[in-house]
C-alpha cells in the first residue's frame, strides 16, 4: 500500500499517496455502499478516474472510514454532512489530502517541471524572490515551484473567487530546503492576513499545506 507520507500537526492530518495501483486494485479497496461506480462512469479520462479512486482510498486510509466526497459550485470539496474540513490535490503519480475538524485547510501538490518558468509572470510579483539574479537555475526552479504551490494552497484556504496570484497573494523571502516553513500574505479579503505555510520538496513534486486558524 503506497502511502508515501502521513503526518499530523495539531488537529490537522495530512497524507500523500503514490499511485502505483491499477484502477481495479484501487476500486477493490473501497467497499462502502457509496455511488463510486456511478461517479466513475461520469469521468471519461482514465487519469481522472485514477485520481478519483486514489483520493478516496487515501481519505479512507487517514480516517479509517469511507466518505462521500461532494463539491461546492466553486469546486471546493467537502464530505457529506460537513463532518470536517477537507482539501484535495493531485499531480502526476500522486494525490494529497488534508483534513481538520473545524478550520479551513489548504494543500497543494505539483509536479516538478520546467514549465513553471514559462508562466512565472502569472504568479510572481516583481518584489518576490528579491535575490533571484544570484540564484542558480536549480535554486530558481525550486523557488518558483514552492511559490506556485504555496499560492495554490493560499487560494484554497481563502475560498474566494477572482484571486490574482500576483497582486493578492505574496510569499515572503525564505531559504529553500527539503522541508520548511514560509510566510504567505493575502490582500484579497481586506483582512490582510498572514499564514504559515509548510512545504516539502521532493524530486518528483513539491507539496505545500496550511491551516487557517481564524482572523
Q: What is the CATH number of the domain that holds 80?
A: 3.90.470.20
Examine the domain organization and report whether 14 and 97 are in the same domain. yes
Domain's final residue, options 102, 136, 156? 102
Other C-beta atoms within 10 Å of 187: how many? Answer: 14
Examine the domain organization and report whether 116 and 23 are in the same domain. no
Residue 3 confidence (pLDDT) above 70: yes
Q: Cα separations (Å) of 181 from 11, 147, 177?
A: 18, 12, 9
Q: Is the dihedral of CA 198, 138, 168, 79 positive or negative?
A: negative
Q: Give the domain extent around 30.
A: 3-102
Instruction: Encode pLDDT of 88-112 as tens digits.
Output: 999 999 999 999 999 999 999 999 9
Examine the domain organization and report whether 135 and 194 are in the same domain. yes
Q: pTM for the complete prediction?
A: 0.95
Instruction: Encode pLDDT of 149-192 as tens digits.
Output: 999 999 999 988 899 999 999 999 999 999 999 999 999 988 88
Examine the domain organization and report whether 85 and 157 are in the same domain. no
Instruction: Encode pLDDT of 58-67 as tens digits.
Output: 999 999 999 9
Number of domains in the chain: 2
pLDDT at residue 215, as a whole number: 58
Alpha carbons 94 and 109: distance in angstroms, whole number: 8
Long-range contacts, stretch 158-162, CB < 8 angstroms, 24+ apart: 158/186, 158/188, 158/189, 158/212, 159/74, 159/76, 159/104, 160/188, 160/189, 161/74
Amino acid at each position: 500500500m503506497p502511502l508515501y507520507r502521513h503526518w499530523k500537526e495539531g488537529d490537522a492530518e495530512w497524507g500523500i499517496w503514490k499511485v502505483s495501483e491499477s484502477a481495479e486494485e484501487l476500486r477493490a479497496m473501497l467497499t462502502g455502499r457509496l455511488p463510486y461506480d456511478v461517479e466513475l462512469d461520469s469521468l471519461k479520462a482514465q487519469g481522472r478516474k485514477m485520481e478519483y479512486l486514489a483520493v478516496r482510498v487515501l481519505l479512507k486510509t487517514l480516517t479509517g472510514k469511507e466518505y462521500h466526497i461532494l463539491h461546492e459550485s466553486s469546486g471546493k470539496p467537502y464530505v457529506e454532512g460537513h463532518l470536517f474540513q477537507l482539501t484535495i490535490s493531485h499531480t502526476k503519480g500522486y494525490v494529497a489530502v488534508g483534513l481538520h475538524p473545524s478550520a479551513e485547510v489548504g494543500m497543494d501538490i505539483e509536479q516538478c517541471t520546467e514549465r513553471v518558468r514559462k508562466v512565472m509572470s502569472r504568479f510572481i510579483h516583481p518584489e518576490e524572490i528579491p535575490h533571484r539574479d544570484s540564484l542558480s537555475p536549480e535554486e530558481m526552479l525550486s523557488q518558483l515551484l514552492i511559490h506556485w504551490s504555496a499560492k495554490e494552497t493560499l487560494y484554497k484556504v481563502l475560498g474566494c473567487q477572482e484571486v490574482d496570484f500576483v497582486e493578492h497573494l505574496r510569499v515572503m523571502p525564505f531559504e529553500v530546503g527539503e522541508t520548511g516553513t514560509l510566510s504567505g500574505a493575502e490582500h484579497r479579503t481586506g483582512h490582510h492576513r498572514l499564514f504559515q505555510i509548510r512545504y516539502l520538496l521532493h524530486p518528483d513534486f513539491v507539496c505545500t499545506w496550511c491551516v487557517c486558524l481564524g482572523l
